[in-house]
Chains A and B, each alone.
Chain A
């Protein structure tokens, strides 16, 4: 029954709404979102907390169904799929990267990456998983457990796991949120390289404007609506540009020097 669209858009979202029923109260989190993403785009989604970014990402990732509206993923209407079909879509078309890594505990990196291949039932799993880990620079860490990896490395394992099935799109909800700025930059470099070299369509959520400046396009949400959708003029290359220090960013923001406590005590 799925309507076949010419797969010009990897993602084609039309007037999607999402309403949560909380007892008697209805909470409309998404109020009609339109979004089209072409193959190979690198998009960041920004917006205040509670604006519906994660809700939108979950719908894009076929983890959740919209209350109304249509969602075509690679030309296939996802909003009408059964649970089993959704599982298949998540497996073949989508690669997730989470803020909290979500690795299986006490499981070697190579096994983590094999997992989606296993659910796909494809052969040559170990070889493909190894290639994916090499692509994120972890070729020497195949047998490491999550507890033996740094946060940045764990997130890279998660990225390898997301790309190993060669999905249509990678969805990352605040992938650098739990990382320090150096590891965050490393992870950004990897996303950028995968996008530029392998043309992997990537959408990710961030609160950090500096991170957003590394992507090609920024979509701003507020109160469940898209309030801005703009191309980035000159995307930064991760690791090349120097992030302005906090002191520089705060230049001229404050009115006067204030030390806390009673002023007389300092005089």
Chain B
């Protein structure tokens, strides 16, 4: 009998035992659906993180204070506004083209009868351009505001909503109180969203105002502490030299002799990317494991049902042999049956994965979950493999049955 005939016999057998076939494929449907769904989810999360990361700016360095690794030093010299300005002096850090500074504190915001707690960021006037923050209404903090330590504030959308009840409210010109001091609202920040914590829950004020009016951040040498210095390198290629120049400058300024006495940390985009990749790598492995386990379970389900089916159909096998089926005909029939089961399961698994992706996209607007072609190909290949692998043993058992024993079977 040729393969086309065997194929027909296999299809007929599957249709005759419809319920059993459907139940068998269920395992594969769920397995493949899980693979497709989880792989697509993983991809979407990766893409999302990458886009968030790109929004940070690919040539921006972040300098923060950090505890020295060496036990020989426990003093941490604060980063200061003066150091931030000095970086731009000729010859100090030639690879750096712009520097923004931030002084961060927490505080209470009161407007009319409403109040909320939020992050208050004192920022330099170029913070908007360096960090890619923009205003939707009003204006950004100007050099004059910084020079005067003016009592002006920009509000994030979450804060607008909490204070005025609506994200659409235009608060420009309103008076608010930050930590008991009154400020005039000069603008609203554009919506930023945020991966884990909303970046819209923020109030921006001139850095000098934060350092001197909301807090006393004066240092013994007459400058002011800053929380973070953002340095923009001329290009991505010049990031390493920028790191080196800043390290050298700050080490000298902070009296650092050995590298592990450093009391500051410079984070580059590639550091962040590394962490991101590590996280998404773990995520991918984790998802792949879940998916793999469900496929394995599905495969074992197929084997289980095929074995039951071989036993249950012992007389049928004996009859087919009595009518002239060769061992290879029986082997092929059962193999084709199990491969078909897994392929059909694979197909509906892909559909299930696609539906799950669509639902996921609808539920989490930040993620665009799409079925990738390679996931579909992978699912097809894997389900064929599962069918052959888990179908072979039962098929061989069927093929090797002696017709006489099979016919006598009750």
Are B319 and A63 touching (Cβ within 8 A)? no
Convert A15-59 into 0s and 1s, putting 1 for each residue whose CB lies closer than 8 angstroms to a CB of B. 000000000000000000000000000000000000000000010
Name the interface residues of B357-410: CB closer than 8 Å to any CB of A.
402-404, 407
Given A115-B323, A119-B324, also A58-B404 (CB < 8 A): yes
Residue B16 is within 8 A (CB to CB) of chain A in the complex: yes
Assess whether B404 is in contact with A116, with CB atoms less than 8 Å apart: no
Question: Is A92 interfacial (CB 8 A cutoff)?
Answer: yes
Instruction: Tell me whether A90 and B407 are in contact (CB under 8 A).
Output: no
**How far apart sit A92 and B322, CA to CA, in the bound complex (Å)?**
11
A182 sits at the interface (CB 8 A):
no
A120 touches which of B319, B324, B328, B403 (Cβ 8 Å): B324
Which of B1-9, B57-65, B247-255 lies on the face that meets chain A? B1-9
Is A61 a contact partner of B9 (Cβ separation < 8 A)? no
A196 at the interface (CB under 8 A from B): no
B151 lies within 8 A of chain A by Cβ: no
Contacts of A91 in B (CB 8 A): 323-324
Q: Given A102-B319, A104-B316, A106-B16, are A116 and B407 neighbors across the interface (CB < 8 Å)?
A: no
Verify if B261 is at the interface (C-beta below 8 Å from A).
no
Q: How far is the CA of A106 from the CA of B13 in the complex (A)?
A: 9
Q: Is the interface of B mostly helix, strand, loop or mixed?
A: helix
Nearest A residue to B322, CB-CB: A96
B403 touches A63 (CB 8 A): yes
Which of the 9-residue segments A80-88, A134-142, A186-194, A238-246 touches chain B? A80-88
Residue among B5, B16, B323 with most chain A CB within 10 A: B323
**A121 vs B8: C-alpha distance when bound (angstroms):** 13
For residue B320, CB closer than 8 A to chain A, the reply is yes
The answer to whether B320 and A90 have CB atoms under 8 Å apart is no
* With A102-B315, A105-B16 as contacts: A92 and B404 at CB distance below 8 Å: no
By a CB distance below 8 angstroms, the chain B residues around A87 are: 321, 324-327
Q: Which residues of A contact B (CB under 8 A)?
A: 58, 61, 63-64, 83-84, 87-88, 90-92, 96, 98, 102, 104-107, 111, 115-116, 118-121, 161, 165
- 12 extra interchain contacts, Cβ-Cβ under 8 A, other than A104-B319, A111-B12? A63-B407, A64-B404, A88-B324, A90-B322, A90-B324, A92-B324, A96-B323, A102-B315, A105-B16, A107-B12, A119-B325, A119-B329
